[in-house]
């Protein structure tokens, strides 16, 4: 996990959701632009199957090492409070002998603990750039969706400031006899590895994450944090009109851009649209080549 800048503009790619009995048309867009609400997802729902899945390392250990481990665990567990020392020792001895004979039982127990812990958190993901073609393809309905630029400031509200994902070949590994609760540094390293480490193949995403301890669902962010919206290069006329109408209704001073396929290169460029009227046919602001960033 890495945190560098105190203020940063990040991007979130989004697709238009089909309306259902429980979901109104363009409900997601209303939540974002009218109520400043963002959806936080469970790690179990991510498209990377390795997210939050550690490897459990089983080294050759003696029975006494298993006993020492379980004595620490049993003595600290809330369920054993009120029991006698002899009862706790007997319990630890039984667990140690079972795990020593069959380490898979301990692995299964640790997996359950981690799954339970991850089930109590949710994550909102952002990218450092709007330019990557694959990000539009994977997360914005093949360029038919849109992208929002969100400004984060650690000085304003540190709890909502995202942390960078680290891309590494080193797979998150847990020694089954490591007592993370008794070692805060080891617990911190494990948490960072599970929540912020991904394979190098994902490096193109340049991802940052907000990790919070609440179930998946909508969470209200700071008002005014959304700075711009970029319409996908293949956005449909109906979706475009609906989105711009919602943006106009928000009364915010958002910058609105249209993403386009660059001519002669495999890249995305964007053009600033006139601010009013938003619902009118597209009118592009003339720009000089290489100066698009001046309109960020």
Domain residue limits, the chain: 7-51+121-295
Tens digit of each residue's pLDDT, the chain (296 residues) = 555 567 899 999 999 998 888 788 899 999 999 999 999 999 989 999 999 899 988 888 888 888 888 887 777 777 777 788 888 888 888 888 888 888 888 888 888 888 888 888 999 999 999 999 999 999 999 999 999 999 998 776 677 889 999 999 999 998 888 777 667 787 888 889 999 999 999 999 999 999 998 889 999 887 778 999 999 999 999 999 999 999 999 988 899 999 999 999 999 999 999 654 444 444 343 333 333 333 33
- Entry pTM: 0.80
How many other CB atoms are found less than 10 A from the CB of residue 221?
A: 18
Q: Which of 121, 116, 74 is nearest to 98 (CA)?
A: 74
Distance CA 147, CA 137 (A): 12
Distance CA 48, CA 285 (A): 39
Residues contacting 18, CB < 8 A, separation 6+: none
Q: Which two tokens stand for residue 99?
A: 């795990």
**Angle formed by the axes of helices 103-119 and 85-101, to 10°?**
110
Residues contacting 155, CB < 8 A, separation 6+: 6, 7
How many other CB atoms are found less than 10 A from the CB of residue 124?
A: 20
The 3-state DSSP class for residue 184 equals helix
């Amino acid at each position: 996990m890495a945190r560098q800048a105190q203020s940063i503009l990040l991007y979130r790619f989004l697709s238009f959701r089909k309306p259902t009995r429980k979901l109104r048309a363009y409900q997601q867009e209303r939540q974002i632009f009218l109520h400043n609400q963002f959806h936080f997802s469970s790690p179990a729902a991510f498209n990377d199957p390795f997210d939050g899945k550690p490897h459990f390392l089983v080294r050759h250990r003696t029975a006494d090492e298993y006993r020492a481990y379980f004595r620490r665990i049993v003595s600290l567990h809330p369920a054993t409070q009120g029991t006698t020392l002899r009862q706790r020792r007997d319990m630890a001895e039984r667990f140690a002998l079972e795990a020593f004979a069959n380490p898979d039982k301990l692995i299964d127990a640790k997996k359950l603990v981690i799954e339970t812990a991850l089930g109590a958190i949710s994550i909102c993901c952002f990218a450092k750039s709007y330019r990557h073609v694959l990000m539009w393809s994977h997360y914005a309905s093949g360029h038919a969706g849109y992208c929002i630029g969100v400004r984060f400031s650690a000085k304003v509200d540190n709890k909502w400031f995202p942390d960078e994902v680290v891309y590494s070949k080193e797979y998150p590994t847990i020694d089954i006899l490591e007592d993370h609760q008794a070692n805060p540094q080891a617990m911190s390293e494990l948490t960072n590895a599970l929540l912020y480490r991904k394979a190098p193949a994902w490096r193109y995403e340049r991802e940052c994450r907000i990790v919070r301890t609440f179930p998946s669902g909508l969470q209200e962010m700071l008002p005014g944090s959304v700075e711009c919206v970029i319409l996908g290069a293949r956005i449909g006329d109906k979706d475009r009109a609906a989105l711009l109408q919602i943006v106009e209704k928000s009364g915010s001073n958002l910058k609105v851009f249209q993403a386009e396929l660059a001519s002669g290169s495999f890249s995305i460029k964007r053009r600033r649209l006139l601010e009013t009227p938003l619902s009118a046919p597209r009118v592009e602001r003339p720009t000089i080549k290489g100066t698009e960033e001046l309109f960020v």
